[in-house]
Structure 1
Amino acid sequence: MGCQALLLLVFLSLGAAATLRPGLKTFGSLHLSANPTSNPAIANNYSVLYFEQKVDHFGFSDTRTFKQRYLIADKHWQKNGGSILLYTGNEGDIVWFSNNTGFMWDVAEELKAMLVFAEHRYYGESLPFGEDSFKDSQHLNFLSSEQALADFAELIRHLKKTIPGAESQPVIAIGGSYGGMLAAWFRMKYPHIVVGALAASAPIWQFEELTPCGVFMKIVTQDFRKSGPHCSESIRKSWGAINQLSSTSSGLQWLTNTLRLCRPLTSEDVPTLKGWITETWVNLAMVNYPYATNFLQPLPAWPIKVVCQYLKRPNVSDTVLMQNIFQALNVYYNYSGQAKCLNMSQTATSSLGAVGWSFQACTEMVMPFCTNGVGDMFEPSLWDLEKFSDDCFNQWGVKPRPHWMTTLYGGKNISSHSNIVFSNGDLDPWSGGGVTKDISDTLVAIIIPDGAHHLDLRAHTAFDPSSVLLSRSLEVKHMKKWIADFYSNAKWQS
């Protein structure tokens, strides 16, 4: 389910937080990676397989190949009248996505479905050049959404040729976050291979000239504003408090002690501190789920409400305000009470996943983000494509192509496509770049009130709000129609 990569993109764009390598600043990303075996109950119910993929699908002289990992679960699959649900893997370990996409497991029996989870090239174990895959831009040259979609197409072709009964069944693409973008684009680019797509929390319009750069952080701010009186105002004032306190050596030492940081804070660390705190607020907005989770960190139900209990008083001294900020941060980083100190290098990103996504962000996935400190609760930060481009060149020796995604996938001119459901939670900051209104009878938007990042793809629980139950039922209704239409057309053609 995505979060880590897109989060990283926010902070690549804002120039916040720590560096992966000297030169290019990063923050979080779209998919928020965690323990790959976070749900071992599911982990035992699939087979792990590998498929030989071409490194370059779009040239003919390069014959190199690599092994793409994929998972298959066929407990509820029926050869007669069944279907295939393909999870379009995004920027991380496919086992983790499998374990955190409970919706697919929940509907498998009803749809008589085989579940296939396909790992994205350059992530998890699907490394085209092994340990050298991230060595330089030459080795990373084949990391793109376009190559990944071709991988998915080739994998489905392979499965239909080798699994008896699969060749005559409809395939539906399902994904969340960047994976949701891939699911939608897969249906657009390969409509003869997938009959429809569920694109959950998929910000396919979070690109230049399609979505205002400030929308994302405004939604984060709204989440905090709605969750407690003066909560967002306290956070907005905290940046000035940090600036004031960090201006002296004694203040830096006081911040180190008060925030219980694992290492002493220096004046050079202050931008990293701000980026780390910013990422925490963004992470909380994305995983503001109605029940306790262990998705990123052990968190209570509605974690922003819990955080905001400590941020009710914005008009206090700088020292008191930062003591309150610590209590709020502690909810995210130490809800279990086991952390002895707070580590600024502890973010949601995984090392290789973050490196891979930083390259994608520096090439095709150029999403502008900005803040103004008025409509949002963050320090002002302008979108500066030239600086972003220079940082990318210093990091990878490549320059971003801001318009390529719109050229490749159509931007907002997608009305000629069909059979895509775009779902977005209204609490999810990525909804700002998502499709939130119906485009046609078959390009449908589902809004989930009180829904955070791809809540609908998570497993069913007793604490699910009625809004997500309704959303899932609508999604299944659309998928059943796509399946029925497929078989009806096949029968007519025969």
Structure 2
Amino acid sequence: MAILPLFLLALACLGANAAPINDRFRTGKAEEGLPQLPLTAVPGEHMRYFTLSQVVQCCPPTSTGKPILPTCQDASDISSWLADNINTQYKQLLAPGTGNATVTTTLLQRVAQCNYSSLVTYVGSADLEQQLADAANQGKLCDALPQYCAQAFNPSGSTLQSSSGATDVTPPPVVNFNCVKGFYKQTLDHFNTSDSRFFKQVFWVCDKSFPGNQQDKASSGNIIVFLGNESPLGIPKQPIVFENAERLNALVLLVEHRYYGESMPFSAPDDLLTTAQYKYLAIQQVIEDTAAVLAFVRKERSVPAAVPAVVIGGSYGGMLASYHRVVKPDVFAAAVAASGPLTYVFGTQMWADTSNKYHEILADSLDVNTGSKMCSGTVRAGLDEVLKMTKHKAGRRQLASLFSLCPGTAAAVEKSQEAGFAFYMDVYGQFHGWVQVNDQPPLLGQVALACDIITTTYDRTQNPLQAIVDVSYYFRSNGSANWCYSFNSNYTLIVGDPDASLRAYSYQVCTQGSVYSSEMAATGSPNTLTPAYGVWGLMLRQECRNLFGRRLPERKSPRFMLDMQQLCKTGGIVFTNGDLDGWAGGSFQSFKELQAAIAAGFAGNARHGGKWWDAGDAAAARIAFVTYKGASHCTDTHSYNWANPTGQEQGIYKRQRAQAMDYAAKFMRPRK
């Protein structure tokens, strides 16, 4: 099984249906309560918002008696049930002709405690929000919505511990910033003027913070361009954008990446395109797409030429932001590259030099989140044992029994060493996932939680292998007596699942050098969790041909993906990273790290007549760095509950996001 890419695990970087760099290992429930578009108020009516917060204790003991991660009710279910009951029981308080109330719920889980915050949007009488908010504050929510409580809690055995309501709330960004969704008639091939084909590309414009008159636009206005990445764009709600748009007097533009979401150049069942149809899926085309949409919006909104644009992206989108700045510095005056692993371009020297940093940071996360090396040491010892046992049949048979592998996969693992290695990578891959989304909704603190299981087992048994068994069971099992561990026993570097986003991203991996975490070779250094394993280009090439056929173009990374010296010359880029994000190993947290990447690529550039260039320092190069201490992936762009940020660290991170945007503002070219 491939350890997945820059995208799916916890819907981390874009919110809505999206996320970046990721793994398919299911470490907890994904946040499914996606914000819905608000109702349209009729003349004379006022749109109202209020929140209902609920703390729920979950769940009854399992049939096996072994500890497992409790399963909170999906946020989408909570939203649906609340909306249905409000619209049924309080219909008389909704304004006629305005449609039903809508509910958007976010979930934050701390082990067995499920914290729901539901934003209710409606048009109608203020009595509705007051009655339900009062009921929630008085602990009588189930009296006010009895059918809802019967649906949400009784069947699952969960218990509503407390509730609260608030009528003075800030609407979500999509409403608060006047965001409007549009479709742009986008050129299919920007590099072939004889090809007149086009497709519809999704974009959003949010104009509330942009000055109203031309003089103010020209003197103080800015444009923030947020880039979609390898998944659907969803709706506007990225923290770094909307926390700072107002003070920057910014017009906000969000652009969906071609071949993802609704921006599909071709139609096919389930959007699974042929290899030939993916021909136009290239970063060069993406950069031209963004520039074209930006030019269209500038013209449509009469934006003065003096107004500069900063481009922002997260994860793979962070890489894209840097590339946009390098390729079109006159169009994009600055860039914020959030969690963008620029050195992780497969097959390059900088990839070879920095791959092991990914694994080092995974171990660091365990150490920092627990305050000791006991957990990481136990994990390393346990994984060492797993890998050794995969190398002989008796060991693989024992692993199948210990981990309760399902019959089919157990037989495959016992039969071949290759399947045994696939099993090892699946077990190790769990740690990739827990670290990547550790401080993101819905399940907070996954690393500490996993380490608690690991150290508890080790204290009891002094057996590191059993600790790995128990933590795998805790996160993967549903607690039933007949549960078994299932995984894909055919180890691959890329993902061939019948999923449109996965298939499209795999094409990018195969043709331009984007990466999955399975492509991060490990040296086996003692400051990591894993023994050594290699990753080979021939293996990747064969897998790519198996997936896309022999007519697949050869992998060729554009020059701008390889030339960190040109990136440094161009400048105007802010690199932001969580210091406990494995993907930060491929980004830059200091000018020294950027210089190392320049040195790695210098030999190749020299062969083409390149000369060494040294800016001296970050300030001279107009490069800045913001590091979120203790943070995991995409702290700039992952979605959290806008009405109730979680934890003290959110205040610190918010200030740092402002600092990143201040750097970007300074990098903007002088106004004419």
Instruction: Report if TM-score (shorter chain) is over 0.5.
Output: yes
CA distance in 2, matches of 1:200, 1:310: 32
Q: Does the CA-based 8 Å contact 2:457-2:466 persist in structure 1?
A: no
CA distance in 2, matches of 1:454, 1:283: 13
Pair 1:444 & 2:583 matched: no
Pair 1:371 & 2:522 matched: yes
Aligned counterpart, 2:647: 463
Structure 1 stretches lacking a partner, 5+ long: 9-27
Secondary structure, aligned partner of 2:511: coil
Pair 1:149 & 2:297 matched: no
Secondary structure, aligned partner of 2:564: coil
Aligned counterpart, 1:5: 5
Q: Please point out which of 476, 480, 483 is paired with 2:665.
A: 480
**How large is the RMSD of aligned CA atoms in angstroms?**
3.6
Q: Does the CA-based 8 Å contact 2:387-2:421 persist in structure 1?
A: no
Q: Please point out which of 332, 338, 359 is paired with 2:507.
A: 359
Pair 1:233 & 2:366 matched: no
Q: Which has the larger radius of gyration?
A: 2
AA in 2 matched with 1:6: L
1:125-164 counterparts in 2 under 5 A? 125-131=262-268, 134-164=272-302
* Same amino acid, percent of matched pairs: 21
| 1:359-381, Cα deviation, whole Å (9 max, x unpaired) | 11111125552113333222431
Secondary structure, aligned partner of 1:309: helix
CA distance in 2, matches of 1:152, 1:199: 16
Aligned counterpart, 1:19: none
Q: Does the CA-based 8 Å contact 2:336-2:574 persist in structure 1?
A: yes
Secondary structure, aligned partner of 1:5: coil
Secondary structure, aligned partner of 2:332: coil
AA in 2 matched with 1:416: K
Secondary structure, aligned partner of 2:530: coil
AA in 1 matched with 2:626: I
Secondary structure, aligned partner of 2:627: strand
Call closer, same or farther: CA 1:351–1:37 in 2, change over 3 Å: farther
Pair 1:104 & 2:284 matched: no
| Cα distance, 1:57 vs structure 2 | 0.8
Secondary structure, aligned partner of 1:179: helix
CA distance in 2, matches of 1:331, 1:315: 15
CA distance in 2, matches of 1:319, 1:270: 25
Q: Does the CA-based 8 Å contact 1:225-1:231 persist in structure 2?
A: yes
| Cα distance, 1:243 vs structure 2 | 5.9
Q: Please point out which of 169, 181, 191 is paired with 2:329.
A: 191
CA distance in 1, matches of 2:543, 2:23: 23
TM-score, normalisation: structure 2: 0.60
AA in 1 matched with 2:424: K
AA in 2 matched with 1:30: I
Aligned counterpart, 2:453: 310
CA distance in 2, matches of 1:214, 1:380: 10
Number of equivalenced pairs: 452
Q: Does the CA-based 8 Å contact 1:159-1:166 persist in structure 2?
A: no
Secondary structure, aligned partner of 1:421: strand
Q: Please point out which of 416, 426, 435 is paired with 1:276.
A: 426
Q: Does the CA-based 8 Å contact 1:29-1:354 persist in structure 2?
A: no
AA in 2 matched with 1:118: V
Aligned counterpart, 1:415: 568
Call closer, same or farther: CA 1:332–1:157 in 2, change over 3 Å: farther
Pair 1:266 & 2:418 matched: no
CA distance in 2, matches of 1:276, 1:150: 38
CA distance in 2, matches of 1:400, 1:36: 38
| Cα distance, 1:198 vs structure 2 | 0.8
Secondary structure, aligned partner of 1:414: helix
Q: Please point out which of 169, 177, 201 is paired with 1:68.
A: 201
AA in 2 matched with 1:183: A
Considering Cα pairs closer than 8 Å and 6+ residues apart, tell me whether 1 or 2 has the greater RCO.
Answer: 1
Secondary structure, aligned partner of 1:53: strand
CA distance in 1, matches of 2:459, 2:467: 10
AA in 1 matched with 2:428: T
| Cα distance, 1:428 vs structure 2 | 1.0
Q: Does the CA-based 8 Å contact 1:426-1:450 persist in structure 2?
A: yes
1:201-212 counterparts in 2 under 5 A? 201-207=339-345, 208-211=348-351, 212=353
Q: Does the CA-based 8 Å contact 1:420-1:444 persist in structure 2?
A: yes
| Cα distance, 1:169 vs structure 2 | 2.7
Q: Does the CA-based 8 Å contact 2:574-2:664 persist in structure 1?
A: no
Call closer, same or farther: CA 1:35–1:473 in 2, change over 3 Å: closer
Aligned counterpart, 1:77: 210
AA in 1 matched with 2:363: T
Pair 1:114 & 2:114 matched: no
| 1:187-245, Cα deviation, whole Å (9 max, x unpaired) | 11111212111111111122311142322112112222333443223323334247648
CA distance in 2, matches of 1:59, 1:317: 67
Structure 2 stretches lacking a partner, 5+ long: 9-18, 25-29, 36-103, 105-118, 120-171, 414-418, 489-494, 592-616
| 1:141-160, Cα deviation, whole Å (9 max, x unpaired) | 11111111110000001111
AA in 2 matched with 1:430: W
CA distance in 1, matches of 2:308, 2:187: 25
Q: Does the CA-based 8 Å contact 1:276-1:344 persist in structure 2?
A: yes
| Cα distance, 1:340 vs structure 2 | 6.9
1:390-429 counterparts in 2 under 5 A? 390-396=542-548, 397=550, 398=552, 400-401=554-555, 404-406=557-559, 410-429=563-582
Pair 1:178 & 2:306 matched: no
CA distance in 2, matches of 1:36, 1:359: 27
CA distance in 2, matches of 1:331, 1:417: 49
Q: Please point out which of 224, 229, 232 is paired with 2:366.
A: 224
1:46-61 counterparts in 2 under 5 A? 46-61=179-194
